Amino acid sequence: MRTSSINNLISVEEIMSIHYFEFKADFNFSGEIHTYWELVYINSGSAVITADGEEIILNQGEIIFHRPGEKHAIASVTTAPPTVFIITFKCNSKHMKFFEKRKMTVPTPIRKYITEMINDGSEAYILTDDSPYEVPLRRREDGLIGSEQLIRLNLEMLLIKLIRSTVIPKTYSLETKKIEGLTGNIIELLNDNVYGRVTVEAISEKLGFSRTHIESVFKQNTGKTITEYMRELKISEAKYLIRKQMYTVAQISDFLCYDNPQYFCRVFKKHTRMTPKEYLLSVSYKDAGKV
């Protein structure tokens, strides 16, 4: 997809809403219609998306777009309640036609733009649980400089990269392909060991690269260290297990291979600023806070 005029631009005119939801297993939103675009990304778990009457299952790492005027709804898959990033926005670029009813897997290197939008959302806007779909957003006076601008820029980057990853043939160098493949292999190993223990040394030995090399490549592609990424995976899985309301804290601690429930609770609170019990009480379909 190559053009040489200003029509080649993808410009986001306005952010209408931005949220990061942690749905319970019984969540079911009946639906809505609005005059702007909506992007839905599943960070973990699965959701049932309805678009103009058609049901679509959206799994971890997948994204879907709703065009203006499209009736859409979302519900949890009860066996895997999702965490969901949703952003609505105005964009009149002709290239947005590419995203009409588009469902796709977001390549790992591109997911960093979603992470940045989530982080900047609470800096740019006052997100309350009174009306999660409140329009217009209320801007923070005390937020970090440029947060709202960074959300738009990262959204534009995400849209462009998604189109390129699908439309334009790969022209990456062999070295770039190796780097992206290595990152994917590391993430696969980490996901496989969420309910176990794995060290960076063990990963480097299994993949046949030095520890220094895999840590450097992983940080370059994800913006996080391997240890940080693994910790976030375990906390995310802990949240999922808590929302299922089927296990005790001690059981969850044991499932995720923490030394004891007390240590698990300390790690959980350090990451979420809540105890597991406080987290369960705070979770509802209205929540739109930080990761």
Q: Tens digits of per-residue pLDDT, 54-76? A: 999 999 899 999 999 999 999 99
In angstroms, rounded to a whole number, what is the distance separating the alpha carbons of residues 48 and 61?
14
E strand segments, 45-99: 46-51, 54-59, 62-66, 72-76, 83-90
In this predicted structure, what is the pLDDT of residue 1? 46
Residue 290 has pLDDT above 50, yes or no: no
Determine the average pLDDT of the residues in 153-172: 79
Q: Are 46 and 82 in contact (CB under 8 A)?
A: yes
In this predicted structure, what is the pLDDT of residue 136? 64
Question: Position of tokens 């979420």?
Answer: 272
Residue 89 has pLDDT above 90, yes or no: yes
Structure tokens at 245: 């309301």
Residue 172 has pLDDT above 50, yes or no: no
In this predicted structure, what is the pLDDT of residue 40? 96
Q: What is the mean pLDDT of the chain?
A: 84
Residues in the chain: 291
In this predicted structure, what is the pLDDT of residue 287? 41
Question: Position of tokens 């005790």?
Answer: 248
Q: 58 has which bridge partners? A: 47
Q: Which CATH architecture has domain 172-282?
A: Orthogonal Bundle (1.10)
Burial bucket for residue 2 (CB in 10 Å: 0-12, 13-18, 19+): exposed
In this predicted structure, what is the pLDDT of residue 125? 82
Residue 48 has pLDDT above 70, yes or no: yes
In eight-state DSSP terms, residue 91 is -
In this predicted structure, what is the pLDDT of residue 221? 82
Q: State the pLDDT confidence band at 179, using cuts at 50, 70 and 90.
A: low
Identify the residue with better confidence: 234 or 291.
234
For 105-159, what is each residue's pLDDT tens digit? 998 878 888 988 988 888 888 765 444 454 567 778 777 788 889 999 999 999 9
Which residue in 285, 290, 277, 288 sits closest to 24, CA to CA?
285
In this predicted structure, what is the pLDDT of residue 135? 53
In angstroms, rounded to a whole number, what is the distance separating the alpha carbons of residues 280 and 103?
31
Inter-CA distances, 273 with 85, 116, 225, 270, 278, Å: 20, 20, 21, 5, 9
Domain ranges of the chain: 6-167, 172-282
Residue 211: partners with Cβ closer than 8 Å, 6 or more residues away: 200, 201, 204
Structure tokens at 257: 């291979």
Inter-CA distances, 175 with 107, 178, 181, 272, Å: 17, 5, 10, 37
Helix (H) or strand (E) holding 43: strand 37-44
Quick one: fold of 6-167? Jelly Rolls (2.60.120)
In this predicted structure, what is the pLDDT of residue 78? 86
In this predicted structure, what is the pLDDT of residue 107? 85
DSSP helix/strand/coil, 223: coil
In this predicted structure, what is the pLDDT of residue 262? 95
In eight-state DSSP terms, residue 56 is E
In this predicted structure, what is the pLDDT of residue 64? 96
In this predicted structure, what is the pLDDT of residue 54? 92
Structure tokens at 184: 């994917």
For 224-277, what is each residue's pLDDT tens digit? 899 999 998 899 889 888 888 888 999 999 999 999 999 999 999 998 888 999
Q: What distance separates the 2 farthest-apart alpha carbons in the chain?
A: 61
**Model confidence, pTM:** 0.65
Q: Are 76 and 24 in contact (CB under 8 A)?
A: yes
Identify the residue with better confidence: 2 or 55.
55
Q: Are 108 and 181 in contact (CB under 8 A)?
A: no
In angstroms, rounded to a whole number, what is the distance separating the alpha carbons of residues 168 and 156?
17
